[in-house]
Structure 1
Amino acid sequence: MALVVTASAQTFQLKVGGGFASQYTDKKLVGSFKAGIGYEYEFDQHWTFNPSLLFVGKGWKDKDQLVPDFGPDGEPKKDENGQIIMSRMGRSVAANYLELPLVINYYLRLGESRYIVLGAGPYVACGLMGKVKTKGDGRRQGAEKLYYEENTFDLQGARRFDAGIQAQVGYQLPKGITVGVEADFGLTRYHADGGRNLSGLVSLTYAFGH
């Protein structure tokens, strides 16, 4: 998270965080994380500019859906009453990005070396890797009926580029430590027909040199 003490005009930071991610649609939550480095430039006693370079894990889980169970002949299986047999399919997606947030922070002093920190700004990200894990897809053949994996950004129509707005609030402690919460609100779609990324994390930032 882009939060840090401002005792000097320029500081380097180590950032980590964990929480949950999903999409704006009816997707379910999955785990999310961030880890990386940041740099903060102080304009005055209240305002700073804080770019970061982070490895970010996002994703989502689809709601289970019923799909036809196909036989080896490629035709849907039917029960004794002639009804098509259905399988319950579940799918989860992990999408890992290299993310660059460009955040402006405002520091509200509470006491000696203690501040409330408010931050917001745009971010851009490039998808690096990830897995789509599918269980119970009766439309597949063989072992893939039970489970199979695909690369998140190799799927047809998948978009590696992500961009949005990051907002955050934190509490700065002495000795260069800030704890806070943050959220990423994606503005671009993962897929032409897909949703936009959404994540929320609890974060810890350590500023070197304090």
Structure 2
Amino acid sequence: MGMMAMTARSQARIGIRGGLNLANVTTDKDGNTDNSHLLPSFNAGVFADLPLADELALQPGILLNGKGSKVNIRSGALNTDMDIRMNPLYLEVPVNFVGKIPISADGDTRLLLGAGPYAAFGIGGNVRTKGTFLGGDVDEKSSIEWDDDTPFSNDDRNQGWNKLKRFDYGANLMAGFQFDNVGITANYGLGLANIHSGSDNDNSEWKSRNRVWSISLNYLFDD
């Protein structure tokens, strides 16, 4: 029986995951963020669990990942109080190396620690503006505008300060627990690309990079 359980754990499996994101965008070159700008969003997708050793696996995946931030513009003199929520949606491909440390006698409960790169492609999203401007009510919603950028290039067509670069990339750090087929993980996505169109990655003082905290439930299907 023990040999059968070990063999099952050593086989590749497919899983699904989904959960809550708390997204933000950096506000300066040093990578700082403002906690008041945290924007709730979601993550959902599929992943593979490819064992490399008894306590190590490679987990590539494909996710729908909501990112962005919110900003409040307030001025008593101008009688203005507006919330602006920018919520871009990305198709993201993470590739994490995940250590699985047994913490139960049967090995079915494991501590998960992982890290790896990700690449993402903007596919949609919206900007919502709501509140008062110069005393008048404002409630507007529009689609995210993307430029026609290519990765690692500053010579993009169709740039504009009101647009986002379509490509994002960065690194993930994750930790969690796996209880047989069911797991719960916390993940931090550290964006490395400047997502603000109209500025480059090296010289601009304006460094807008995605920062995303996530908590997700996952389920691994048996073979």
Short-chain TM bin: 0.7 to 0.9
Tell me what 1:53 maps to: 62
1:182 paired residue among 177, 182, 187: 187
Residues 85 and 120 of structure 1, relative CA distance in 2, 3 Å threshold: closer
The residue identity in structure 1 corresponding to 2:90 is: Y
Q: How far 1:194 moved relative to its partner?
A: 5.2
Instruction: Please list the CA deviations of residues 54-108 of structure 1 after superposition, one character each: whole Å capped at 9, or x if unmatched.
Output: 01111210132449xxxxxxxxxxxxxxxx8453332111111100001001111
The residue identity in structure 2 corresponding to 1:114 is: T
SS in 1 for 2:145: helix
Mapped to 1, the partners of 2:220 and 2:39 lie a distance apart of: 29
Tell me what 2:118 maps to: 123
Does residue 94 of the first structure (1) align with residue 94 of the second (2)?
no
Mapped to 2, the partners of 1:104 and 1:153 lie a distance apart of: 34
Q: How many residues align?
A: 184
Contact 1:172 1:178 in 2 (8 A): yes
Normalising by structure 2, what TM-score? 0.74
SS in 1 for 2:67: strand
Instruction: Please list the CA deviations of residues 3-31 of structure 1 after superposition, one character each: whole Å capped at 9, or x if unmatched.
Output: xxx71321101111113111233361111
Gaps of 5+ in 1: 1-5, 68-83
Gaps of 5+ in 2: 1-7, 27-32, 147-159, 200-205
2:97 paired residue among 88, 92, 104: 104
The residue identity in structure 2 corresponding to 1:163 is: Y
Does residue 132 of the first structure (1) align with residue 127 of the second (2)?
yes
The residue identity in structure 2 corresponding to 1:148 is: E
Instruction: Compute the RMSD of aligned alpha carbons.
Output: 2.2
Residues 85 and 21 of structure 1, relative CA distance in 2, 3 Å threshold: closer
Residues 56 and 85 of structure 1, relative CA distance in 2, 3 Å threshold: closer
